[in-house]
Structures are given as structure tokens and as C-alpha cells.
């Protein structure tokens, strides 16, 4: 056996993928556990990624006519009860407020007091309370469509948590719209899914499969749920965004009615759609390696770090002035609407300084010393390849945006090839079961395109036997006759099966 390569992150992906993920998050200084079980503190490096996601996505929303608003964190229990299927879907995850003050306890300390007349739910999602406002704002077809989005936090009381992927409190955006016609609502549902696809692929460099959820996987109370699914490096799927056609269920529960063009009273047709900080977890698992985080340039908090070569006890004026001049020259360049962001790290901590930035995933690292200054050069390392090379300083400055674009494209193409290499069409039940039964650890199987008859019983049996679910019915799955991978009955098209987060 060859000598084991030393890595910055231990264990490696192959040794223990779940623990590797936790160590990448820790080493990148993105977040840490909070005193509240299941919640996290998002530190500046991690939050800057979220801010970049938020800024880009918010602009995309507004281009489609969506406007931002804000709605209460607390939702009266009676509001959730208006939509039985909806509340059933979230009931086990709800945090409930029952009192409005604290008072001293006889034995010391504090105890809840002032019981509320009606319990309040800490929002798990906002369809019901936004529906209440929409019902007040809508009287005529001229008031429609209503196109809203809010950036907020939500609480879903998770038992098993993992930073960014699944926490009890997380950040997200939730869009909610109301329309005069079914056709318009369906069009909006798909429009937002297309927007999510464009964002995730172009900004996060994560290739996705677009499709429709099976009935059992739909959002509670929705007529239809569409989604984007990405493959992680352990071959599990991650749902990176959803867009729901809600039909008229929530409109009826919230009494969102209007007078149509014929003068008749009608219920509105509504949609909702959302993404969250879970996308950051997906980005980590798609791109990162055994040396730490890898961040696509378009959402990176900073694009370049300059590491001046400092002499202990010496005069470092020339090096620092050169570093500042290089930073200023780079910041004159614009990369996809953002000034090229540059950090200068002059800490005197030896080789650990460079490794800190490797583990944080910054796209480009520059070492700059007296020899480089004399030769008008820089020593550059790209995070996507970890290759280092000398480069003319002026050429580096003039091509930095091309370098960043190449890194972005390399990450996307690498992830796309990985997904394609691990996606299979399987028609034999024994082969299907064998693949997933041997899946464990770093090898959690694959994306498998197989026929399904449409029966919930077959779907549930596969889930029970293999912990494998139908991730979606891909929009680009061609119509073709086949036999259900579970029962052998007639099937019209293939669906995407996978283990999932």
C-alpha cells in the first residue's frame, strides 16, 4: 500500500463522511453550536456567504415583480387549524408559546406565568398568517396577482440536527403569491423553480435535477410540489429548493376571495416557494475536499487572500506597501457585479496561515515576498485544484476575473461529471436492491432512474426496505413503457430514486 497522504481534515470523506462534514464546517470557521440545542451561531465567514446568496437571489426575485414584506414570527394556533392537512404535516415540529411572562418561583429561579388565551406557534412556515393578510388585501381581480417574499427565520423542532443541513432554527426566504387563475399560479410555480435552478447552478455551481414530487412527498396541503435535487459527494440527494402550487386549499382556509371579471366571487389560486441556509450545507458537501471548504467564487466572502512574506524583526514596509497596492489594483476589477474582494493576512504564524485559508475555501491565495516584488510577479494557488504557480503580477491583475470564472466553471463541471458517473438506469429489481443494500458510509448508492407504477404502496415498500425515496419525477424523463421496479406493473416513465438528507 502507498503512503497515506496527509490531509488538513481528519477523518477524510471516505473514512467517515458525516464526521468529515462536521470537521469541514468547524475548520472553515463558518459556524458553531449554540447554547440552545439544535441551533447554531453563524459566524462572519458563513454569514457572508448567506448575505451573497440573499443579495443575488433577492435581485432575481424582484426582476419577476416580487416585493419583500415581513410577517409575524408568532402564528395563532387557530390559523394552523384552518388547514388540517397542513397542520398535520408540521405538528410534530412545532414550538409552542403558552405563556407571556416569567415570575419568581417559590423554590427560587423563574417560572412561566400569564397563560395565553390562545397558544402561539413559532412559525414553521407562513402560509396561514400570510393568507390572513391576503384575504384583507383582495376584493377584486384588479388586486391580483399578489407577489410577496420574506427573508426570515423559522423553527422546526428537529431531533437530529447538523449545522446548515438541518437545525431547529434556520434562515430562509419564503415566497407567497395569489392569482386570479389556476394557469397563472401554475406558471408562477414553475417560474420560481426555474429561478432556483439558475441560481443554484450558476452561483453555487451545483448541478440539479428538476422535477415533481410524488404525492407522499408533497408539501402538506399542496396540490403539487416541484423541486430541485442535487447529488452530494456521498451520492445522497439534497433537496435544494421547492416551489409549490397550492391550488385553492389555503385560499379557502384563509378566505382569500375576489370578484372576478364576470362579477362572480371566486377563491384565489396560491403558490409558495422557498430555499434556506440548507443550500450552504449542499455547497459544502458538493465541492469541499479533505483539506477543507471549497467556496465557488460567485458566493465567496472574499475572492483573493494576499499572504505577505514577513521577516521577523525586519523592515517589512516594502512588502506591505506592495500588498496594499496589489489589493487596490484587484479591487478596481468587477466580478459579476461585485468588486473583487481581497483580504491581506499578515499574521506571523508561519505555514498555519496558508492552511487557514485553504480550510476556509477562499478561491485564490497569493504569496508575496521581496523576490516576487523584484520580479513583478506573484505566487498563486487556486483552491479548486490546489496547484501553485508563479505568474506575472500585471497579468494576474488583468485576468483575475477570468481566473475566478474558470474556477467557478471547473467546480460546476466536476460536480456534473460526478453526478453523471453515479447515475444509472436500472430495470432489474434484484440489481436495484443489491446496489442500495451494499450502500453505506461514503458510498450511499447512486442516483437511479427506474420505472415506478405510481403506487404509494410500492414507494413505501422501497423506503422501508432500503431507506430510499423517490426524489422527484424528472421533467426531462422521457415517456416510455416499462415495468415498476417494485411490483412489475406497467409504468409510463422513470423516476429518480436515491438516499437523501
Cα separation, 447 vs 472, whole angstroms: 11
Measured over the CA atoms of residue 472, residue 476, residue 481 and residue 485, the dihedral's sign is negative
- Together in a domain, 185 and 212: yes
Work out the burial of residue 432: count CB atoms within 10 Å of its CB; fewer than 13 is exposed, 13-18 middle, 19 or more buried.
buried
| Residue 386 resides in a domain | yes
Q: What is the pLDDT of residue 86?
A: 77
DSSP 359-370: HHT-SEEEEE-H
In a domain, 5, yes or no: no
Q: What is the CATH number of the domain that holds 476?
A: 3.30.110.30
Indicate if 220 and 158 belong to the same structural domain: yes
Q: 3-class DSSP state for residue 174?
A: strand
pLDDT reported for residue 2: 54
* End position of a domain, from candidates 252, 287, 322: 287
b/e code 146-182 from CB counts within 10 Å (16+ = b)? bbbbbbbebbbbbeebbbbbbbbbbbbbbbbbbbbee
Q: Are residues 115 and 215 in the same domain?
A: yes
105, 251: one domain: yes
Note the pLDDT of residue 116.
98
Please say whether the beta carbons of 165 and 234 come within 8 A: no
Q: What residues form DSSP beta bridges with 198?
A: none
Q: How far apart are CA 183 and CA 472, in angstroms?
A: 22
Q: What is the pLDDT of residue 4?
A: 67
Do 246 and 326 belong to one domain? Answer: no
Measured between its terminal Cα atoms, the distance across the chain in Å is 34
Quick one: how far is CA 52 from the chain centroid?
Answer: 13
Tell which residue, 470, 466, 440, has the closest CA to residue 456.
470
Q: Residue 246 belongs to what domain range?
A: 17-287
Q: Report whether the peptide linkage leading into residue 406 is cis, meaning its omega lies within 30 degrees of zero.
A: no
What's the total number of domains in the chain? 3
Q: Clarify whether residues 306 and 283 are in a common domain.
A: no
Residue 64 resides in a domain: yes
Neighbours of 285 (CB within 10 A): 24
Give the number of other Cβ atoms within 10 Å of residue 486's Cβ. Answer: 22
Close Cβ partners of 251 (under 8 Å, ≥ 6 residues apart):
131, 178, 257, 267, 268, 269, 270
In-domain check, residue 413: no
| Contact criterion met (CB below 8 Å) for 13 and 20 | yes
Whether the CA torsion 116, 121, 122, 126 is positive or negative: it is negative
- What CATH number is given to the structural domain containing 377? 3.40.50.800
Q: Do 164 and 245 sit in the same domain of this protein?
A: yes
Is residue 383 within a helix (H) or strand (E), and if so which, with residue range?
none
Burial of 350 (0-12, 13-18, 19+ CB in 10 A): exposed
Q: Is the dihedral of CA 209, 214, 219, 222 positive or negative?
A: positive
Q: Say if residue 383 is in the same domain as residue 336.
A: yes
| Distance of alpha carbon 275 from alpha carbon 416, whole angstroms | 21
Contact (Cβ atoms closer than 8 angstroms) between residue 238 and residue 200: no
Same domain, 439 and 468: yes
Task: Choose one of 287, 321, 355: the last residue of a domain.
Answer: 287
- Please say whether the dihedral angle defined by the alpha carbons of residues 251, 216, 90 and 445, taken in this order, is positive or negative: negative
Domain for residue 7, yes or no? Answer: no
Please list the rounded mean pLDDT of every run of 10 residues in the chain (501 residues). 77 96 98 94 98 98 98 95 80 94 92 97 95 98 98 92 95 98 98 98 98 96 97 98 97 97 97 98 98 98 97 89 98 98 94 96 97 97 96 98 98 98 98 95 94 98 98 95 97 97 95
Q: Which residues pair with 443 in a beta bridge?
A: 440
Within a domain: 67: yes
Q: Report pTM.
A: 0.96
Residue 402 CA, chain-centre distance (Å), reads 26
Asked if residue 11 belongs to a domain, the reply is no
User: Which CATH number covers residue 193?
Assistant: 3.30.930.10
115 within some domain? yes
Q: Are residues 185 and 261 in the same domain?
A: yes
Let me know: does 370 contact 316? Beta carbons within 8 Å: no
Q: Are residues 346 and 435 in the same domain?
A: no
DSSP 270: E
Q: End of a domain among 224, 254, 287?
A: 287
Map residue 226 onto helix, strand or coil: strand
Residues 186 and 307 in one domain: no
Q: Whose CA is closest to 240, among 271, 269, 211, 270?
A: 211
What is the Cα 237 distance to its own chain's centre?
12
Amino acid at each position: 500500500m502507498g503512503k497515506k497522504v496527509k490531509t488538513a481534515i481528519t477523518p477524510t470523506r471516505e473514512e467517515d463522511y458525516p464526521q468529515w462534514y462536521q470537521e469541514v464546517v468547524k475548520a472553515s470557521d463558518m459556524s458553531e453550536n449554540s447554547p440552545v440545542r439544535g441551533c447554531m451561531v453563524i459566524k462572519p465567514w458563513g454569514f457572508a456567504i448567506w448575505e451573497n446568496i440573499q443579495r443575488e437571489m433577492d435581485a432575481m426575485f424582484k426582476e419577476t415583480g416580487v416585493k419583500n414584506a415581513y410577517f409575524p414570527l408568532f402564528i395563532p394556533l387557530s390559523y394552523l387549524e384552518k388547514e388540517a392537512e397542513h397542520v398535520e404535516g408540521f405538528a410534530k415540529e412545532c414550538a409552542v408559546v403558552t405563556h407571556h411572562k416569567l415570575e419568581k418561583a417559590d423554590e427560587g429561579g423563574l417560572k412561566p406565568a400569564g397563560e395565553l388565551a390562545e397558544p402561539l406557534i413559532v412559525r414553521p412556515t407562513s402560509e396561514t398568517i400570510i393568507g390572513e393578510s391576503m384575504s384583507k388585501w383582495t376584493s377584486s381581480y384588479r388586486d391580483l396577482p399578489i407577489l410577496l417574499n420574506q427573508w426570515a427565520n423559522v423553527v422546526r423542532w428537529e431531533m437530529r440536527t447538523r449545522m446548515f443541513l438541518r437545525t431547529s432554527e434556520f434562515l430562509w426566504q419564503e415566497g407567497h403569491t395569489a392569482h386570479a387563475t389556476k394557469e397563472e399560479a401554475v406558471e408562477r410555480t414553475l417560474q420560481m423553480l426555474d429561478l432556483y435552478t439558475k441560481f443554484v447552478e450558476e452561483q453555487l455551481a451545483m448541478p440539479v435535477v428538476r422535477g415533481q414530487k410524488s404525492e407522499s412527498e408533497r408539501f402538506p396541503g399542496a396540490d403539487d410540489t416541484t423541486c430541485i435535487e442535487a447529488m452530494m459527494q456521498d451520492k445522497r440527494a439534497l433537496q435544494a429548493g421547492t416551489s409549490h402550487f397550492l391550488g385553492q386549499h389555503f385560499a379557502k382556509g384563509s378566505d382569500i376571495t375576489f370578484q372576478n371579471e364576470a362579477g362572480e366571487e371566486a377563491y384565489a389560486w396560491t403558490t409558495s416557494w422557498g430555499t434556506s441556509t440548507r443550500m450552504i450545507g449542499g455547497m459544502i458537501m458538493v465541492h469541499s475536499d479533505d483539506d477543507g471548504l471549497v467556496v465557488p467564487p460567485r458566493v465567496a466572502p472574499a475572492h483573493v487572500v494576499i499572504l505577505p512574506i514577513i521577516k521577523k524583526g525586519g523592515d517589512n514596509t516594502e512588502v506591505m506597501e506592495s500588498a496594499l497596492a496589489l489589493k487596490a489594483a484587484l479591487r478596481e476589477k468587477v466580478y459579476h457585479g461585485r468588486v473583487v474582494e481581497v483580504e491581506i493576512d499578515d499574521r506571523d504564524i508561519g505555514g498555519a496561515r496558508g492552511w487557514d485559508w485553504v480550510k476556509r475555501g477562499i478561491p485564490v491565495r497569493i504569496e508575496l515576498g521581496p523576490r516576487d516584488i523584484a520580479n513583478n510577479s506573484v505566487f498563486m494557488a487556486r483552491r479548486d485544484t490546489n496547484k501553485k504557480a508563479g505568474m506575472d503580477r500585471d497579468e494576474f491583475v488583468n485576468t483575475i476575473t477570468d481566473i475566478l470564472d474558470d474556477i467557478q466553471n471547473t467546480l460546476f463541471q466536476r460536480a456534473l461529471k460526478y453526478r453523471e458517473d453515479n447515475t444509472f438506469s436500472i430495470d432489474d429489481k434484484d440489481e436495484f436492491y443489491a446496489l442500495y443494500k451494499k450502500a453505506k458510509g461514503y458510498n450511499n448508492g447512486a442516483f437511479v432512474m427506474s420505472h415506478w407504477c405510481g403506487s404509494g404502496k410500492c414507494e413505501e415498500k422501497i423506503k422501508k426496505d432500503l431507506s430510499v425515496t423517490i426524489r422527484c419525477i424528472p421533467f426531462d424523463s422521457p415517456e416510455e413503457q416499462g415495468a415498476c421496479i417494485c411490483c412489475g406493473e406497467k409504468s409510463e416513465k422513470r423516476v429518480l430514486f436515491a438516499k437523501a438528507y
